[in-house]
Each structure stands twice: as C-alpha cells, then as structure tokens.
Amino acid sequence: MSKFLINKYQSLEAYVPGEQPKDMEYVKLNTNESPFPPSQGVLDRISSAEVSKLNLYPDPDCKVLRKKIAELYGFESENVFISNGSDEILSFAFMAFCSEEKGAVFPNISYGFYKVYGDLYGVDYTEAPLKEDFTIDVNDYLNINKTVVIANPNAPTGLSLSVDEIEKIVKSNPDNVVLIDEAYVDFGGKSCIELVKKYENLLVVRTYSKSRSMAGARLGYAFGSKSLIDDLNRIKYSTNPYNINRLTLAAGEAAIDDNDYYMNRCKEIVEIREYSKRRLSELGFDYLDSDTNFIFAKSDKIIGEDYYRRLKENGVLVRHFSNPLISGYVRITVGTREQMDKLFEVTEKLLK
Ligand code: PMP
C-alpha cells in the first residue's frame, strides 16, 4: 500500500477472483465458465474488418445490442442496460441505490462481491443468515427500508427462490430497489424478468459469462424500469461511457442471433449436471439441488479444503471457500462430460 491511498480505502478487502493458474493445463471447474466455445456467428463477427475499426470509439449507447436483447426477451430498448461484465452493473447499482443512509441487505452466503461493493461505497449493509438448509428466508427481505440484493439462483449454493417469493419481496418494498442477480438462471432456474413490467423497483441483472460462453469478453445486461435504467446510465456516463469495447459489442450482438446454439448448450450442461450428481452420490458425496452450472458438494470422507488441494495436485481445479459456514464444501463447475469424468476418476483415487 502506498502512503497516498486515502484512508477510507486502506482497510478495503478486495474481491479475490477464482484462481487462473498458468503453471500447467488444468481441468478448470472453478469459475463457472462455460466449457463450450462461443457460437460460429460470434467467431465470424470478430473478423479482421471488425478489428480494423478499433481506431474508432464504440457506440456508448450500445443501441443495436440493446435492441436485440430487448426484442429477444420482449422489452423496449429503454428497459435494457449493457455493462462490462455484470460485475459492473452491480458496482453501478451499489453506487446508485445504496449508501450509509440507504442500507442494503443480502444473504450471508452469496456472491462475495456484494460485500466488497458494500464496503467500497460505504454502505450500511446487513447480511441475512441463510436457513440451516442453505435456503433464503424470504421474511428477512419483506418491508425492509434497504436495497435488496439477491442472487437467484444463489451462489455458491445453487438454490433458487420461486418467482412468487421474489414478487412478494418486490411488492413489499415499493420504496426500495430490489436487485435480482440472474447470472445462473439459464441452467433451469425460473426468471423473474416478467415482473420488471409490473414493478418499477425491480432490477434484474444477467451475464454473458456463463450461459453465453463469453466470460472473456466481459458483457452483462440488466432489465429494469426506464427510470432505473436512466439512473444506471447517469452513473455510467459519469465514469466510463465507452464501457463496452467494439469487439465485445459485435460478439454480443452475434450471440443473440445464435440464441438457439446457447440454449442447447445450456440443456447439455444441465444433462451433464444431472449425470454428475448421480456420480457424486455413488462416491458418497452430499450436494445441494443445483439450478445452475455448478454443484455445491461435500463428503464425510475428505474435508473441503483437502479435497480442493488434492484435486489441484492432480490437475483438477474446483473452488473452495474458507468461510467456516461452508468450508466443508467445494463448488464444482459443470464442465464437459470428459472433464467431469476426469474429476470422478481423480476423486475415486483420492478416496481409496
Ligand atoms: N453474479 C454472480 C452471482 C456471479 O457468480 C458472478 C460471476 N462470478 C457475477 C455476478 C459476475 O459475472 P460477470 O462480471 O462475469 O458478468
């Protein structure tokens, strides 16, 4: 830390992304990326003609992409916001809708960045404890004078609230923004985006990083009432108007044109997930009933940290969290069938 860093940031605990080691080729099941490449349409759009336009700024309004996303999901462009990864929308939303006066509430076990943004922006936040079975207690979020932030399905548990439960939360908080992070919704979860048409306080955040095989391109989007989207634009145009680069915009547009390709890959991942659950059961693991592209699993035979470490020594990366409430578990991204079989082969060996 330099002597120049201002006081309020000196105690900031930054987010620690999942590791991306380069020392060897791993079977990478640790950051919930898609194991499948982007569609042919995306590969074709990143042509040398597109690259040769990099001397020009991209469209800061992302007009074409907003229109395509709006049409695909039955919205108007004014209800769509585009960002550099969904992390950026979360950052803008914490800046726009949370403060010391307007606190925030999110589950105590959830996406780790919520807490980091809360700290970064000096938000008075509460971490509502999950129930013993790792489900969210809806009562913690009703009639509460705070901005609500919930990942649905939640991470790293993989468990979902129903659309009715989300509606109950949104309806009971007309003076608060309710942000629902649907990063993993395409793997069998139930989306609440239709509620955006009914409630001006609901913001639904999505990403291209998981179901659209574009984690490396950094692209996120959100649906909300025009007024909420205007608020996010106010923040965006006050920080970095050209937040999406030309190549990512082009890739994002092509990916919407190839929607069927992605939805079919999601179905494939769901099938591999169900196969993986069966294999984990055979190996004596317990796991939560995931609606996502990952499985949160534990075994009585090996503690979470040891399992993570020994897998890594054997070329398989999964994610382990040191939080004592979940340290017995590992989070396993659903990869290809071959990647999962490698995981099970190593696991069998370790448990012998
Ligand atoms: N929300 C959740 C729940 C996540 O797990 C992640 C990915 N780590 C994100 C948002 C951010 O994803 P990205 O910035 O790649 O869109």
E-strand spans in 191-274?
202-207, 220-223
Ligand 1 atom nearest residue 88's Cα: 14
3-class DSSP state for residue 125?
strand
- Of 1.10.15.40, 3.30.1360.20, 1.10.510.10, 3.90.1150.10, the CATH number of 9-37+260-351 is 3.90.1150.10
Q: Is the CB of 188 under 6 A from ligand 1?
A: no
pLDDT at residue 320 in the model: 96
Residue nearest to atom 8 of ligand 1 (CA): 31
Each domain of the chain, given as residue ranges in start order, spans 9-37+260-351, 40-258
CA of 301 to the centre of ligand 1 (A): 31
183 lines ligand 1 (CB under 6 A): yes
Question: Has this prediction a pTM greater than 0.95?
Answer: yes
Q: In this structure, are residues 187 and 293 in contact, taking their beta carbons and an 8 Å threshold?
A: yes
Ligand 1 centre distance from Cα of residue 349 (Å): 33
87 lines ligand 1 (CB under 6 A): yes
Closest-lying ligand 1 atom to the alpha carbon of residue 110:
3
Report how far ligand 1's centroid is from the alpha carbon of 350 (Å).
31
Nearest-atom index, ligand 1, CA of 31: 8
Q: Can you tell me the mean pLDDT for 268-290?
A: 97
- Confidence grade of residue 19 (pLDDT, cut at 50, 70, 90): confident
How many angstroms separate the CA atoms of 346 and 317, rounded? 11
33-62 pLDDT, tens digit per residue, is 999 999 999 999 999 999 999 999 999 999
Q: Does the CB atom of residue 205 touch ligand 1 within 6 A?
A: no
Give the CB-side neighbour count of residue 182, counting CA atoms within 13 A: 24
CATH number of 40-258: 3.40.640.10
Q: How far apart are CA 347 and CA 136, in angstroms?
A: 31
User: How far is ligand 1, taken at its centre, from the CA of residue 342, in Å?
Assistant: 26
Give the model's pLDDT for residue 143. 96
Ligand 1 centroid to Cα of residue 241, in Å, is 21
- Give the C-alpha separation, 335 to 208, whole Å: 17
Confidence of residue 24 (pLDDT cuts 50, 70, 90): confident
Amino acid making up residue 137 = D
For residues 331 and 321, what is the distance between their CA atoms, to the nearest angstrom?
A: 8
Taking the centre of ligand 1 as the mean of its atom positions, its distance from the CA of residue 184, in whole angstroms, is 9
**Calpha distance 304→297 (Å, rounded):** 9
Backbone angles phi, psi at 83, to 5 degrees: -145, 170
- CA distances for 222 relative to 52, 66, 78, 153, 290, angstroms: 30, 10, 11, 16, 23
pLDDT score at 45: 97
Confidence of residue 22 (pLDDT cuts 50, 70, 90): confident
With bands split at pLDDT 50, 70 and 90, how would you rate the model's confidence at 85? very high
The ligand 1 atom at the shortest distance from the C-alpha of residue 209 is 15
Distance CA 197, CA 199 (A): 6
SS3 assignment, position 60: coil
What pLDDT score does 6 carry?
94
* Token pair listed for 238: 């006050």
CA 121, 20, 134: angle at the middle one, nearest 5?
60
| Cα distances (angstroms) measured from residue 159 to each of 51, 150, 155, 179, 180 | 41, 11, 8, 17, 14
Residue 109 pLDDT: 98
Ligand 1 in contact with 166 (CB < 6 A)? no
Shortest CA distance to 1 belongs to which of 12, 19, 122? 12
| Strand pairing report for 294-299 and 330-333 | antiparallel
Residue 196 has pLDDT above 90, yes or no: yes
Whether residue 23 has pLDDT greater than 90 = no
Judged against a pLDDT cut of 90, whether residue 266 lies above it is answered with yes
What's the pLDDT score for residue 18?
A: 87
Per-residue model confidence as pLDDT tens digits over 301-316 = 999 999 999 999 999 9
Q: How far apart are CA 302 and CA 310, in angstroms?
A: 10
**pLDDT mean across residues, the chain:** 97
Q: Which residues of 133-155 are buried (b: 16+ CB within 10 A; e: fewer)?
A: ebebebebbeebebbbbbbbbbb
Which pLDDT belongs to residue 8? 92
Query: Residue 21 pLDDT > 90, yes or no?
Result: no
Rounded to a whole number of angstroms, the distance between the first and last alpha carbons of the chain is: 46
Q: What average pLDDT does this structure show over 323-351?
A: 97
